[in-house]
Structure 1
């Protein structure tokens, strides 16, 4: 994964922790007219060149609307 700011290679698979709350951040989506719900735990990538941080999920394909219509 390349940094959006400086195009340097980012360090992936970093953990995300929220202080004074539950550990980590989850992304979720409930599909309209359906009981189907998907969720994924976020990960972070850090650029050691400029300090830019990007959040991402590995299960991004599960969030495709065309698969839930």
Structure 2
């Protein structure tokens, strides 16, 4: 999906990896739902604007969080 910068309306470069410096685990976004196996989790990706440097986090399959 094409990402547009909210600051300057330039096409962003997507699929950038997000990690925490000094740790190998990175960031994980999760949501606990109702029931035994109702849980959604995703690793966020980043999109970077080559014009102004704005960074946006997103996940590839947001529909899994509609529990």
Asked if these proteins are the same fold (TM beyond 0.5), I'd say yes
> What 5-or-longer segments of structure 2 have no aligned partner?
none
Distance 2:24 2:16 in 1: 17
Aligned length: 64
The structure carrying a bigger helix percent of its residues is: 1
Matched, 1:59 2:51: no
Over aligned residues, Cα RMSD in angstroms? Answer: 1.1
Q: Name the TM-score, length of structure 1 as normaliser.
A: 0.84
SS at match of 1:12: strand
Structure 1 residue runs of 4+, over 4 Å off? none
Q: Name the TM-score, length of structure 2 as normaliser.
A: 0.87
> What 5-or-longer segments of structure 1 have no aligned partner?
none
Distance 2:26 2:65 in 1: 19
